[in-house]
């Protein structure tokens, strides 16, 4: 009865992990939830003020499909400052979070049968959207190269059908931050093979020193006319529920996105747009700096606890707010004892025995990893990671 396309995707693995945690908690068990793709925080005062002012002014109508022109100008200034290149409002679409920006991008550049290169482990939504657009995800394994794709592997995967390369740095779930050379090489590959670059920099505000986030168009200005920048305020300002983000790219792409978005969601929520506009216009960096400090403190605390793990290497956690644990060693010792152990088993045992909810790497195409979010309250993080390390070490 349902359309055939419903067979192409299932509910997001991260959402499923969080639902499983809630279900166990509802049964009365105390759970520390490390599945969240968001930061525990209050709302930036400037965002609150902008929203309240818009509500008090009875702002309640549709805006232009691509967002308020003032907001698109403000975003153009933001992107110009971040990339050290001039950007204009007609190169920007305001979207309902980065997820819609990515979906729009896939729908306007991918033809049926086109291939899109995606480094793996990957954020679960990337391949799902490519498949919905009729394309074929082609995964580039990064697990044996510190979660950074090798140019040789990317090059070997290019075929006549390759249409785009999806780059996410800082990376969800692995926490890798791609360095200059990696990004410059990826840009050159895209230029040489006439590929689009979808550049998801949602975690760009969280690159942990000495690692630095580089916008790809700054490193490779010649790739700009084939690059679609995806970003949002979900992570950088802890506004996941407000659903506001953007896509920046060539005018022809933005114009196609206008047509698509006009038939799907129309404009993003008007109150969120005004709130963000107020935030960008008042230009106070204090809130974001405080959020960055919070994430950095949580990272330091987490690493100090995870260092006790005897059979799991310390995660790199170069950017974002996830620890990605490599279970390869644990799996090998389980195998030596005649047992198979995959990431789902580990996540299941952590949930039931330690009361700690994590996301199995299978959600990211990797049966040998688990993702832990450190965007939560420090006290809970401390408790959760101590329980987790104690449980994992019983598998030695």
Residues that bind ligand PLP (CB under 6 A): 37, 97-99, 123, 168, 172, 200, 202, 232, 234, 240, 245
CB-nearer residue toward ligand PLP: 94 or 108: 94
Alpha carbon distances (Å) from 279 to 44, 78, 276: 8, 12, 5
CB-nearer residue toward ligand PLP: 172 or 331: 172
CB-nearer residue toward ligand PLP: 35 or 234: 234
- Residue 118: name the closest of 95, 86, 141 by CA: 141
CB-nearer residue toward ligand PLP: 37 or 384: 37
Strands (E), the chain: 32-33, 92-95, 115-120, 136-141, 162-168, 196-200, 227-232, 245-248, 322-326, 356-357, 359-360, 369-373
Structure tokens given for 42: 């209050």
Beta carbon of residue 315, minimum distance to ligand PLP (angstroms, whole number): 17
What is the rounded distance in angstroms from the CA atom of residue 380 to the CA atom of residue 362? 25
Closest CB to ligand PLP belongs to which residue? 97
What is the rounded distance in angstroms from the CA atom of residue 236 to the CA atom of residue 69? 22
Omega within 30 of 0 (cis) for the link into 210: yes
Beta carbon of residue 45, minimum distance to ligand PLP (angstroms, whole number): 21
Kind and range of the H or E run holding 220: none
Beta carbon of residue 200, minimum distance to ligand PLP (angstroms, whole number): 5
Alpha carbon distances (Å) from 46 to 53, 77, 200, 232, 250: 11, 18, 25, 17, 31
Beta carbon of residue 336, minimum distance to ligand PLP (angstroms, whole number): 35
CB-nearer residue toward ligand PLP: 240 or 383: 240
**Residue entry with tokens 């006549």:** 160
CB-nearer residue toward ligand PLP: 65 or 172: 172
Q: 14, exposed or middle or buried, with CB in 10 Å at 0-12, 13-18, 19+? A: buried
What is the rounded distance in angstroms from the CA atom of residue 99 to the CA atom of residue 291? 22
What is the rounded distance in angstroms from the CA atom of residue 89 to the CA atom of residue 154? 33
CB-nearer residue toward ligand PLP: 233 or 395: 233
Beta carbon of residue 255, minimum distance to ligand PLP (angstroms, whole number): 22
Beta carbon of residue 347, minimum distance to ligand PLP (angstroms, whole number): 18
Beta carbon of residue 202, minimum distance to ligand PLP (angstroms, whole number): 4
């Amino acid at each position: 009865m349902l359309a055939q396309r419903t067979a192409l995707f299932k509910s997001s693995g991260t959402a499923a992990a969080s639902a499983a945690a809630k279900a166990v908690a509802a049964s009365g068990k105390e759970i520390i939830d490390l599945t969240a793709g968001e930061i525990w925080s209050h709302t930036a005062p400037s965002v609150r003020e902008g929203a309240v002012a818009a509500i008090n002014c009875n702002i309640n109508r549709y805006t232009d499909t691509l967002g308020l022109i003032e907001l698109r100008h403000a975003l153009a200034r933001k992107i110009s400052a971040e990339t050290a290149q001039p950007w204009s409002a007609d190169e920007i679409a305001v979207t309902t979070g980065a997820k819609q920006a990515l979906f729009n991008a896939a729908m306007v550049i991918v033809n049926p049968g086109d291939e899109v290169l995606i480094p793996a482990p990957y954020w679960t939504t990337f391949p799902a959207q490519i498949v919905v657009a009729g394309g074929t995800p082609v995964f580039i394994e990064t697990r044996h190269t510190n979660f950074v794709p090798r140019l040789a592997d990317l090059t070997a995967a290019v075929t006549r059908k390759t249409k785009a390369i999806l780059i996410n740095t800082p990376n969800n779930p692995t926490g890798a931050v791609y360095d200059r050379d990696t990004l410059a090489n990826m840009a050159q590959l895209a230029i040489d093979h006439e590929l689009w670059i979808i550049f998801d920099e949602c975690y760009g505000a969280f690159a942990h020193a000495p690692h630095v986030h580089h916008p790809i168009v700054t490193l490779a200005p010649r790739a700009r006319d084939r690059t679609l920048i995806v970003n949002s305020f979900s992570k950088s300002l802890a506004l996941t529920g407000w659903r506001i983000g953007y896509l920046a790219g060539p005018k022809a792409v933005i114009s196609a996105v206008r047509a698509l978005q006009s038939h799907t969601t129309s404009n993003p929520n008007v109150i969120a747009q005004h709130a963000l506009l107020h935030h960008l216009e008042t230009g106070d960096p204090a809130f974001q700096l405080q959020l960055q400090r919070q994430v950095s403190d949580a990272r330091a605390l987490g690493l100090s606890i995870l260092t006790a793990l005897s059979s799991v290497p310390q995660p790199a956690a170069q950017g974002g707010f996830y620890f990605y644990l490599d279970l390869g060693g644990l799996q090998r010792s389980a195998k030596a004892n005649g047992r198979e152990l995959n990431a789902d088993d580990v996540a299941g045992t952590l949930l039931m025995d330690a009361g700690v909810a994590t996301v199995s790497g299978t959600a990211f195409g990797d049966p040998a990893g688990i993702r832990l979010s450190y965007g939560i309250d420090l006290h809970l993080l401390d408790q959760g990671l101590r329980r987790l390390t104690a449980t994992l070490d019983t598998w030695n």
